[in-house]
A = this chain, B = another copy of it.
Amino acid sequence: MATTLHDVARVAGVSFKTVSNVINNHPHVRPTTRAKVEVAIRELGYRPNLTARSLRSGHTGAVTLALPQLSLPYFAELADAVIEAAAKHGLVVLIEQTGADRDRELEVMSSPRLKMSDGLIFSPLELGQADVDLIRADVPIVLLGERIFDSNSDHVAIQNIEASRSATEHLLDLGRTRIAVVGAHQGEVIGSAGLRLRGYREALQARGIPYDDGIVAYVRDWHRSNGAAAMHDLLDRGATFDAVFGLNDTLAQGAMRVLQEAGYRIPDDAAVIGFDDLDETRYSLPTLSTVDPGRNEIAETAVKVLLDRIKNPEGPPRAMKAAFRVVPRESTVGAGRP
C-alpha cells in the first residue's frame, strides 16, 4: 500500500490535517512543525494521491484535448503546443482522437471519461454550425477552428479569411498576378478551404484582378499526394500562372515537388506559398513560405480561456481570434542557401 497522509502524520507526530496543511502551503503552520512534517514526507517518500484529492476538491488538474488525428502534422503540432501551454499552468493533457468521425466527435462530449478532466479543448472537423445545439458537455468547452461560431461555448478561431488574404497579397506584392490555388473544396463555404479561398478572392478583387476558376484546383483531402495531383492537373490542362497558393502546407509541398520535376524554378518561374507554418516547411528545398496561423497563441489562449471558464462558469461566451503572420521564405522571396 502506498503511504498516506496518516502514515506521515504518525511519523511526524502530528495530526494528519497538519500534514495536509503543509502540503497545501497553508499559511498558519509553525515553521518547526512544517520542518518536522517535511522530514517525514521525505523519509517515507510520500506522494499525494491525486485521485482522492480530485474527488474531494472537484477538479482533476487535467484537460482533455479532442482532435481528429495526431498523425496529421497540423494536429500533432497543435497538440504539442497545447501540452506545453497546459504544462505552464500545471495541467496535464489527455488526448482523444475522433478520426474526423461525426459520431466519435459527438461521443467525446458525452463520454463519462471527460469527467476525468476539468475541461475540453475541442477541434471538430465534422460538426459544424448546424450542430451547434449538440455542443455541450459536463465540463467547460473551448472550441478550436472555424466550423462553429455562434454557440454558447468559448471559441478560439484562426483568421482564415484575413490570413489567406494576406498570403495572397504577399504574392501580389511580389508582382505575381496569375496565382493558382491548390486545394479548394468544391462548394465549401464554411471550413478552412472555403474560408481561405474567400480570402484569396477578396485579395484579388481589392487589386482589380479577375478571379479565374481555370487556375483553381479542387481536391478532396489535404495530403501531399493531393497537392501533387492537383498540380499535375493544372499543368496538364495548360494552366499558366506565376504563383501558387497551397491552402495548406502539405498541399503546397506536393505541388512544389511536381513543379520542380516539371522544370519550374522556384520562386523564379512560380512562387509558392502554403498555410500552417508546419515545422517541415523550414526544412524543405526551397524552404516554403507560409502563414503562421498563430498555433502557439491558439494553444495558449485556449488553455487560458478554459481555465477562466472553469473558474467562472457563468458569463457570456468569448470568441477570440489568433493573430496570424505571413512567413516569407525561399519559395517566394528566393535567396538563401544553395
- Do the beta carbons of A283 and B115 come within 8 Å of each other? no
Q: Give the distance in Å from the alpha carbon of A60 to the alpha carbon of B62 in the complex.
A: 13
A90 to chain B, nearest CB (A): 9
Among candidates B50, B52, B96, B138, residue contacting A2 with C-beta atoms closer than 8 Å:
B138
| Residue pair B283, A228 in contact (C-beta under 8 Å) | yes
User: If the complex has contacts A70-B79, A73-B73, A280-B224, are A51 and B48 also in contact, measured as CB distance less than 8 A?
Assistant: no
Binding site for B on A (CB under 8 A): 2, 47-52, 54-55, 60-62, 69-71, 73, 76-77, 79-80, 83-84, 87, 92-97, 112-113, 115-116, 138, 223-225, 228, 232, 250, 254, 257-258, 260-261, 279-280, 282-285, 338
Contact in complex: B51, A115 (CB < 8 Å): yes
Q: Are B116's CB and A60's CB within 8 A?
A: yes
Contacts of A84 in B (CB 8 A): 97
| CB neighbours of A48 from chain B (8 A) | 112
Complex Cα distance, B284 from A257, in Å, reads 8
Of all chain B residues, the one with the shortest Cβ separation from A104 is: B87
Residue in contact with A92 in the complex, picked from B76, B113, B260, CB distance below 8 Å? B113
Give the CA-CA distance A192 to B92 in the complex, in Å.
29
CA distance A323 to B237 in the complex (A): 45
A284 to B260, CA, bound (A): 13
Residue in B138, B225, B232 whose beta carbon sits within 8 Å of that of A47 in the complex = B138
Q: Given contacts A54-B116, A71-B77, could you give 14 more A-B pairs where the C-beta distance is less than 8 Å? A: A47-B138, A49-B115, A50-B115, A51-B51, A70-B80, A70-B83, A80-B97, A92-B96, A223-B283, A224-B284, A225-B282, A225-B283, A254-B283, A257-B285
Please give, as numbers and ranges, the residues of chain B lying within 8 Å of A92 by CB-CB distance.
94, 96, 113, 116
Using CB atoms, name the residue of chain B closest to A280.
Answer: B224
A116→B51 CA distance, assembly (Å):
6
Give the complex CA separation of A60 and B47 in angstroms. Answer: 17
